[in-house]
Amino acid sequence: MKLPDLLIPGPLKKPPKPGDGDGAGPVERLKETPADLVGWIDERTGGASFLTGMLYRKVPKGTNWFYTLGSATLFAFTVQAVTGVFLAMYYTPSATQAYGSITHLTNDVFLGEFVRGMHKWGASLMIILIWLHMARTFVFGAYKYPR
């Protein structure tokens, strides 16, 4: 039984032969993949308009790198929270097993020593950033009216 032509999609009517086509081979399709992926994500989230607004907005005159200390402190806090949760999953808070859990985390867990180092140095960096942010707020008079 032959189906009517209306029900058969175009590509199935006459399948392409090897070597035929518009040059859309695997290499060409791979080159288009990042743009397709970004378009796919933007279509579902609408994030491109937000990013465009953030990246291309005008920066006020007189702004300098000291104004990024608050954001850097927030980033350091986020790193501390994420690494702290990871470390808490492996730490055993008992007098007999605490040292063993730290040794296991440092030597046996994948990237355990790296995450532990990030948590250690991130804590020191966060304290420094908090002090710098407080000093900038005081020196620039950001606490005074009008803000």
Are the C-beta atoms of residues 73 and 133 closer than 8 Å to each other?
yes
| Most confident by average pLDDT, 4-8, 47-51, 58-62, 126-130 | 126-130
Q: What is the DSSP letter of 147?
A: -
> Which residues, 6 or more positions from 6, have their beta carbon under 8 angstroms from its beta carbon?
none
* DSSP calls for 23-89: S--HHHHHHHHHHHHHHHHHHHH-HHHHHHHHHSSPPPTT--GGGGHHHHHHHHHHHHHHHHHHHHH
Are the C-beta atoms of residues 90 and 105 closer than 8 Å to each other?
yes
In which element (H, E) is residue 124 found?
A: helix 112-140
Q: pLDDT tens across 51-93, in order? A: 888 888 888 888 888 889 999 999 999 999 999 999 999 999 9
Q: Rg for the chain (alpha carbons), in Å?
A: 28
pTM of the model: 0.62
Confidence at residue 117, expressed as pLDDT on a 0 to 100 scale: 96
Distances (CA, A) of 100 to 93, 112, 113, 115: 10, 14, 14, 17
Gap between the Cα atoms of 99 and 27, Å rounded: 53
Q: Sign of torsion, CA 41 42 44 49?
A: positive
pLDDT confidence bin for 15, thresholds 50/70/90:
low
